[in-house]
């Protein structure tokens, strides 16, 4: 905007129109109060000739003053109208300036965008940013019904959320973004397939799915297939989806299947060959409604499978167990009357016997097995390569001195164990103290230099805690949380030794120590009287 058009009020200008005149009025005394005129104001006597002349002069002066006042008032009124008109004009001008300012800001922003560093980002960085916008696999949330906290309700269930695909929006932002995304096949290799009646009613959904698979070129695929029950009564595998799975089976590296029993049956009949499959996740949506046959064979060929996660799945599968390195078993929350539908101790142990190379194992425990259910599996189970073991449970069903944790721990020998995490009874009271004792025996029996131990929500005794401290000198990360049955003072005293005079220091490598629970804190232990 030209500077000579910028308005500003003038200052110290001699022009009288820039300043209102000062009005100084003299107040004349009333004639009735003037002693000279009282003889007339207080009587009906006529004035003398001289007095008439004086009064006429006074009246003439008053008339002139009235005329001057009227003239000034008229001028000021006109001035007021002029100011009001100027105020309206100024207001309009201000509004116009604000609009102009917004336009200039937008123009400046547009210019700055042209200099934005994002425009100079290499395609590799752009594509890594795009990767972070992908939701994979289909997210699941467990729905807890009323009464389940007290084991009085029905079993919980899973709720699945239809994922939003950001890829199609990214391709419409700009030519650069479109070219970047299309040049990166990995970006299109994460495929979420949602089975609903509407998705496979016409060809639009399968057409978009085909475009995405085509853009993935020859990159290994990660595929998630989920049936959303609340949106569909479909119980069959859509033929179009079967065609897709057959066509791209050789490239599937990661596969998540959240399906019903009937669809799993149909998939087993397909006998897909998955030569590149490394990670498999199976979730049975209606597990309690039926029983799968033993040794169900879902796929005909999976030579590279290394990671398996099963959710709400208790029955056997026919898979290359001897090559698995990571195994996870999970299940939804189950109330006490549905224990028969959740994996029990002997199911987990029977599965572990099939994994000679397993290195990481995550188990969600639930039901206690009877002696008869263990069958001939009376010997200790040795997992020679298991480095990481994670045990947890939703809730607890036990008799006074038995627990599913104890049943598992007492059967295991883990020579390679390095990390052990145990989370007891997430919904329920404290586990019995035998559980912690069995975990300590497992560590001692394995004779492995364990470095990480996390233990949560259980009763413990001082002897077990102190024995653990003395027999695990390699511990670096120790977290004992929500414990009861011991005093904090006893534990702290066991840790506070004189290293200068001690030949066998306690936990010399310890870096992290966290202890919490219902124990008495040793407030005065470290005071110096």
> Is residue 503 one of the residues assigned to a domain?
yes
> Is residue 40 one of the residues assigned to a domain?
no
Cβ neighbours of residue 304 under 8 Å, at least 6 residues apart?
275, 276, 277, 278, 323
Domain holding 88, by residue range, is 58-115
Angstrom distances, CA of residue 213 to CA of 126, 191, 289, 357: 21, 8, 34, 34
At 10 the pLDDT is 62
At 314 the pLDDT is 62
> Is residue 186 one of the residues assigned to a domain?
yes
At 200 the pLDDT is 81
Does position 378 have pLDDT exceeding 50, yes or no?
Answer: yes
Does position 342 have pLDDT exceeding 80, yes or no?
Answer: no
Arithmetic mean of pLDDT, 132-159 = 66
CA 185 – CA 182 distance, rounded (Å): 7
> Is residue 38 one of the residues assigned to a domain?
no
In which band, very low, low, confident or very high, does the pLDDT at 424 lie, cut at 50, 70 and 90? confident
**Residue 420 and residue 453 in contact, taking contact as beta carbons nearer than 8 Å:** yes
79 shares its domain with 186: no
The mean predicted confidence, pLDDT, of the chain is 78
Arithmetic mean of pLDDT, 69-88 = 86
Nearest CA to 351 out of 322, 392, 372, 378 is that of: 322
347 shares its domain with 439: yes
Q: What is the share, in percent, of the chain residues with pLDDT greater than 70? A: 75
The DSSP bridge partners found for residue 481 are 456
Token pair for 126:
């752009």
354 shares its domain with 328: no
Nearest CA to 367 out of 115, 151, 183 is that of: 151
61 versus 390: the higher-pLDDT residue is: 390
Other Cβ atoms closer than 10 A to 380: 10
CA 433 – CA 401 distance, rounded (Å): 8
**pLDDT tens digits along 161-181:** 877 777 888 887 778 888 888
Q: What is the share, in percent, of the chain residues with pLDDT greater than 90? A: 13
CA 329 – CA 313 distance, rounded (Å): 8
63-77, 164-178, 418-432: lowest mean pLDDT where?
Answer: 418-432
Token pair for 19:
């300043």
Last residue of some domain: 283, 305, 333? 333
CA 191 – CA 138 distance, rounded (Å): 10
**pLDDT tens digits along 251-296:** 999 999 988 888 888 888 888 899 999 999 998 887 544 455 567 8
> Is residue 166 one of the residues assigned to a domain?
yes
Q: What is the CA radius of gyration of the chain?
A: 44
313 shares its domain with 211: yes
364 shares its domain with 223: no
**Residue 246 and residue 271 in contact, taking contact as beta carbons nearer than 8 Å:** no
In which band, very low, low, confident or very high, does the pLDDT at 101 lie, cut at 50, 70 and 90? very high
Nearest CA to 423 out of 356, 508, 498, 363 is that of: 363
Does position 152 have pLDDT exceeding 70, yes or no?
Answer: no
The H or E element that residue 301 is part of is strand 299-301
CA 131 – CA 170 distance, rounded (Å): 11
309 shares its domain with 431: no
Give the position of tokens 């009323």: 146
CA 4 – CA 357 distance, rounded (Å): 85
The H or E element that residue 437 is part of is helix 433-446
At 525 the pLDDT is 45
Q: Can you give the CATH number for the domain in which 385 is found? A: 3.80.10
The H or E element that residue 248 is part of is helix 239-248
385 shares its domain with 407: yes
Does position 492 have pLDDT exceeding 70, yes or no?
Answer: no
Arithmetic mean of pLDDT, 446-473 = 83
The DSSP bridge partners found for residue 493 are none
N residues, the chain = 529
At 4 the pLDDT is 53
Last residue of some domain: 284, 312, 333? 333
User: Domain total for the chain?
Assistant: 3
90 shares its domain with 132: no
CA 156 – CA 149 distance, rounded (Å): 11
Does position 6 have pLDDT exceeding 80, yes or no?
Answer: no
191 shares its domain with 309: yes
At 281 the pLDDT is 93
Last residue of some domain: 100, 115, 130? 115
At 16 the pLDDT is 63
CA 219 – CA 189 distance, rounded (Å): 7
272 shares its domain with 419: no
290 shares its domain with 348: no
At 294 the pLDDT is 65
408 shares its domain with 483: yes
Nearest CA to 171 out of 199, 202, 211, 114 is that of: 211
> Is residue 507 one of the residues assigned to a domain?
yes
Arithmetic mean of pLDDT, 311-333 = 81
Nearest CA to 407 out of 346, 319, 352 is that of: 346
> Is residue 44 one of the residues assigned to a domain?
no
Give the position of tokens 């414990």: 483
Cβ neighbours of residue 325 under 8 Å, at least 6 residues apart?
306, 307, 357, 358, 359, 360, 385
Token pair for 348:
């987990």
Does position 15 have pLDDT exceeding 70, yes or no?
Answer: no
> Is residue 201 one of the residues assigned to a domain?
yes
At 147 the pLDDT is 47
Token pair for 493:
């005293």
Cβ neighbours of residue 317 under 8 Å, at least 6 residues apart?
282, 295, 296, 297, 298, 310
């Amino acid at each position: 905007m030209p500077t000579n058009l910028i308005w500003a009020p003038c200052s110290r200008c001699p022009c009288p129109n820039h300043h209102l005149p000062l009005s100084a009025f003299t107040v004349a005394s009333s004639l009735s109060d003037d002693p000279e005129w009282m003889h007339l104001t207080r009587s009906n006597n006529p004035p003398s000739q001289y007095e008439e002349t004086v009064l006429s002069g006074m009246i003439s002066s008053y008339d002139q003053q009235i005329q001057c006042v009227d003239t000034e008032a008229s001028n000021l009124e006109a001035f007021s109208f002029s100011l009001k008109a100027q105020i309206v004009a100024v207001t309009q001008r201000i509004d116009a300036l604000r609009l102009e300012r917004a336009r200039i800001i937008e123009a400046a922003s547009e210019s700055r965008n042209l200099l934005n560093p994002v425009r100079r980002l290499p395609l590799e960085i752009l594509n890594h940013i795009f990767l972070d916008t992908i939701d994979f696999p289909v997210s699941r949330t467990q729905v807890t019904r009323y009464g389940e906290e007290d084991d009085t309700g029905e079993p919980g269930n899973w709720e699945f959320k239809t994922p939003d695909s950001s890829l199609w929006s990214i391709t419409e932002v700009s030519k650069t973004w479109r070219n970047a995304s299309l040049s990166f096949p990995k970006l299109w290799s994460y495929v979420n397939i949602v089975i609903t009646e509407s998705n496979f009613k016409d060809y639009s959904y399968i057409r978009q799915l085909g475009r995405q698979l085509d853009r993935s070129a020859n990159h290994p695929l990660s595929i998630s297939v989920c049936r959303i029950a609340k949106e569909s009564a479909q119980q069959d595998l859509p033929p179009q989806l079967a065609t897709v799975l057959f066509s791209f089976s050789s490239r599937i590296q990661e596969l998540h299947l959240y399906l019903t029993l009937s669809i799993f049956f149909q998939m087993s009949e397909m006998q897909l060959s998955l030569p590149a499959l490394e990670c498999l996740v199976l979730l049975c949506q209606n597990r309690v409604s039926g029983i799968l046959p033993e040794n169900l064979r879902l796929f005909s060929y999976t030579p590279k499978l290394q990671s398996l996660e099963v959710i709400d799945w208790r029955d056997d599968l026919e898979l290359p167990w001897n090559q698995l390195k990571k195994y996870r078993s999970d299940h939804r929350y189950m109330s006490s009357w549905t224990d028969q539908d959740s994996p029990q101790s002997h199911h987990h142990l029977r599965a572990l016997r099939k994994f000679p190379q397993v290195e990481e194992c995550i188990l969600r425990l639930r039901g206690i097995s009877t002696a008869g259910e263990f069958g001939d599996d009376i010997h200790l189970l040795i997992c020679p390569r298991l480095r990481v073991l994670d045990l947890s449970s939703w809730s607890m069903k036990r008799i006074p001195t038995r627990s599913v944790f104890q049943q598992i721990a007492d059967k295991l020998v883990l020579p390679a164990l390095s990390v052990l995490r145990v989370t007891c009874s997430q919904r329920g009271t404290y586990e019995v103290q035998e559980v912690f004792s069995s975990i300590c025996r497992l560590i001692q029996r394995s004779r492995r230099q364990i470095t990480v131990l996390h233990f949560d929500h259980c009763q413990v005794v001082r002897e077990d805690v102190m024995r653990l401290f003395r027999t695990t000198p390699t511990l670096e990360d120790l977290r004992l949380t929500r414990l009861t049955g011991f005093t904090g003072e006893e534990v702290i005293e066991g840790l506070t030794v004189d290293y200068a005079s001690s030949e066998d220091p306690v936990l010399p490598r310890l870096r992290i120590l966290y202890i919490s629970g219902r124990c008495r804190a040793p407030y005065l232990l470290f005071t110096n009287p």
